Structure 1
């Protein structure tokens, strides 16, 4: 099956799965104060729920990557999303902090394989010249989760219980399984090298370089975003409702940036990643200076969100091009790299707060991480024009 447009039922089913994964991954940020209070742990300890999830992705990627490269995409995605729905049910039922920590980590293992498998299937279903945009559409499920899932989940958790939010995510996961079962095309397991050969295709600098950039950019993002709710409430003076509105605006920025990144990747724009990183740094610097102003922080949040995810599709497409027959493993590892940065960023942000450097100064930590990422990203190779791209099937 090779739909002529990006708005096809198979791609929408994949985007729904991305929405479920994105909601579960990021929704904890909007509920961090409520979870910390309910489970009687510190804000820094609650932040470890973000790190535990991220480390689950990091651990799961090398375990699942070679296996998924030899399974039919539909079968793999159904198993992964089914496990994800059950994992979120486990989060909702967790009796204490340590059970929730373990449930988050185990749930994340299935996340490790989902986006790598889903983005490659999306690329196979799309016309050659729209492959990066198709991958971006799947990732848009993750970013739309920040527009709708995170603020609505935060509102639901504040109005009822944070557990109710995870019950809803589990139900949406079951719905995504049904959509993928009905709409994804059947296919043969893709031909792949043996696991050691797949690793041989990945353990090269042209592949490791974009993985490193992906990881460092995630460190910069999550060192601040993990604690965005207390930052907005305690430093910016936002109420809970205003905080949710700001998260909604940030999520809109993520979605727009992701779609923009897909267009830039289709056009092979070399400097898309460095420019986006520089804009992210300027936006964070602006938040540090003007967070207590009435409207400017909202503009800066939108800009920060756009720039943060404009790099996703260019890096993903670059990985697929450079990895060749190891593309399935490379695509899976890209999400491991993102989540290794996620865990490291949340941990660094927690260290910053524990060291009493101040919540109001936290954006400066993100600016420093972005400056390092920009230096590493400058030598990235140019994306090839669409007509020259390798086939993915």
Structure 2
């Protein structure tokens, strides 16, 4: 890595020693502002799930076409993640984060007032930039706020916003849309981003850049064995999760034979368990990230394969969907922490690789999960989940102990 990159190593180590185990109110406020930002951004990302029908009708497009707003967000996000830390150069990271929140506000308002589908897509593309830029910086910023030895705990609080948004955004979006329209629901996400931006301005300290990454620095990082294993863990576990989780509802309908009400209750259990998973994952990751990754992969593999074998029983299915949610809640904390341990001197570049790995895994998982359910039935995607999660468990046990 470059000399400028190595400066981050010294800064991180010094900061880690300086930050006490017990966080000050100022530190808590800063970390909570990051959690509020993740909640605002992910709420906007998942909102279309509850707005698709009225959105499509209003803009005069099919629901399938309207669904491409999600694709636009993910596609732009994947490309931006690779370039974000190169483009921001030596800018103060607080300024960058505030700017990304401002972009989210503008993008959500553009989507809310879009007069045609292409303006809606443009707004969603802007949201993709804000999302990927935030997540690419998140681990490095949290490490500077709380110290590298508490990164898992800090990221657990930040990703709590993801779990809460996953539970709330689709359902609340649908309710608000029915009440005052889909445009108002979209505009409300701009309000959430504005609150997050205000919290950032008030709470985040100045975060001068310790490094200016080049694209070659980012790619050079992929030559490290620990980084390769960290990216592989993300690709396997998240591909497996998204291959199966998207099709949990069809499984519960066709195999467990549940009606809509019990299915909604099961999915609520999944979401609530994921919140607890955030905190469990944070504690385990700080104590021993290798074991934390093994537990996450093992629990997801057990949940998925057990659903395939015994999911006809409704009580068993409820329990296993909940345990899957616990594993999913652990993953967004454990996986980035695992990857960052191999790049403590280049956390921002590692953040870019982390976001790209997640986006690629989501795309591959949805593709293969759809193929499996269409050709082999409702149990097939869950079988794929169990195989890839078990492979992640094996990878964790084979990783170096340091």
> What is the TM-score of this pair, normalised by structure 1?
0.82
Cα distance, 1:237–1:193 mapped onto 2, change above 3 Å: closer
1:388: which partner in 2? Answer: none
SS of equivalent residue, structure 1 residue 270? helix
CA contact (8 A) 1:272 1:311 kept: no
SS of equivalent residue, structure 2 residue 236? helix
1:256 lines up with 2:276 in the alignment: yes
1:84 lines up with 2:92 in the alignment: no
1:213: which partner in 2? Answer: 233
Q: Which moved more, 1:306-315 or 1:54-63?
A: 306-315
CA contact (8 A) 2:103 2:127 kept: yes
1:171: which partner in 2? Answer: 191
1:147 lines up with 2:167 in the alignment: yes
Distance in 2 separating the partners of 1:162 and 1:292: 37
Cα distance, 1:374–1:90 mapped onto 2, change above 3 Å: farther
1:121 lines up with 2:141 in the alignment: yes
Deviation, 1:108, is: 1.1
Distance in 2 separating the partners of 1:93 and 1:13: 27
Distance in 2 separating the partners of 1:342 and 1:97: 24
1:367 lines up with 2:386 in the alignment: yes
1:339: which partner in 2? Answer: 359
1:330 alignment partner, one of 333, 338, 350: 350
CA contact (8 A) 2:85 2:212 kept: no
Q: Which moved more, 1:218-227 or 1:241-250?
A: 241-250
Structure 2 residue runs without a partner (length 5+): 1-14
2:35 alignment partner, one of 10, 15, 19: 15
Length, aligned pairs only: 380
SS of equivalent residue, structure 1 residue 62? helix
CA contact (8 A) 1:140 1:255 kept: yes
Cα distance, 1:72–1:243 mapped onto 2, change above 3 Å: farther
Cα distance, 1:304–1:115 mapped onto 2, change above 3 Å: same
1:196 alignment partner, one of 216, 226, 234: 216
Deviation, 1:260, is: 1.1
1:279: which partner in 2? Answer: 299
1:108 alignment partner, one of 124, 128, 137: 128
Deviation, 1:36, is: 7.0
SS of equivalent residue, structure 1 residue 264? helix
Deviation, 1:12, is: 0.8
CA deviations 1:212-256 (Å, max 9, x no partner) are: 2112222112223335556656775443x6555443322222221
Distance in 2 separating the partners of 1:41 and 1:162: 16
1:379: which partner in 2? Answer: 398
Deviation, 1:363, is: 2.5
1:5 lines up with 2:23 in the alignment: yes
Structure 1 residue runs without a partner (length 5+): 385-393
Distance in 1 separating the partners of 2:178 and 2:377: 26
1:24: which partner in 2? Answer: 44
Distance in 1 separating the partners of 2:24 and 2:157: 8
Cα distance, 1:231–1:94 mapped onto 2, change above 3 Å: farther
CA deviations 1:251-295 (Å, max 9, x no partner) are: 222221121111111112423213321221222234445556444
Q: Which has the larger radius of gyration?
A: 2
Cα distance, 1:198–1:18 mapped onto 2, change above 3 Å: same
Q: Which moved more, 1:242-251 or 1:4-13?
A: 242-251
> What is the TM-score of this pair, normalised by structure 2?
0.81
Cα distance, 1:125–1:250 mapped onto 2, change above 3 Å: same
CA contact (8 A) 2:139 2:348 kept: no
1:182: which partner in 2? Answer: 202
Deviation, 1:64, is: 0.4
